[in-house]
Amino acid sequence: MTPRVDNSARARGAARKLLIQALYQRQMGGQPWQELHRQYSADPTFERADPEYFSAALAAVCEQSAELDDELRNHSDIEPARLDPVEHAILYLGLWELMTRTDIPYRVVINEAVELAKRFGATDGHRFVNAVLDKASRVHRGVERGAVA
């Protein structure tokens, strides 16, 4: 019997938490995403995470990090290389979700990123994360936000 995949919001939240840790670790050590995937999927807390979302996000963010940094430059005055690594990881994930995961409402993307920044980031890092992702959502989710096309 194969285990049931939990695609609930709770499981996606657990995956996001692990993703931020993996993306932070990648920035510090430069491991390939495949190695990080093996490591984090062996973690006991991975059982609570959405494995499909985790795999897709980790591969995409790692493979597209240069493009995501270019996108980040469009929405922030701080050069990506100067960002706090935790907030950088959160912004990578948030930007990727805004740009590619239209099944996730933009408000959810921003809220989840802000909560991760409050939990793991610097004291006021959540404000920066909120501002950057709000600006990016105007570009990538303008129609969803109600902007006139």
In whole angstroms, give the CA distance from residue 70 to residue 7. Answer: 30
Write down the pLDDT at residue 7.
57
Q: What are the structural domains, with CATH classification, of the chain?
A: 9-140 (1.10.940.10)
- In which band, very low, low, confident or very high, does the pLDDT at 31 lie, cut at 50, 70 and 90? very high
- Residues 48-86: tens digit of each pLDDT: 999 999 999 999 999 999 999 999 999 999 999 999 999
Helices (H), the chain: 9-29, 33-41, 51-63, 65-75, 85-100, 106-120, 125-140, 142-145
- In which band, very low, low, confident or very high, does the pLDDT at 147 lie, cut at 50, 70 and 90? low
Supply the pTM of this predicted model: 0.90
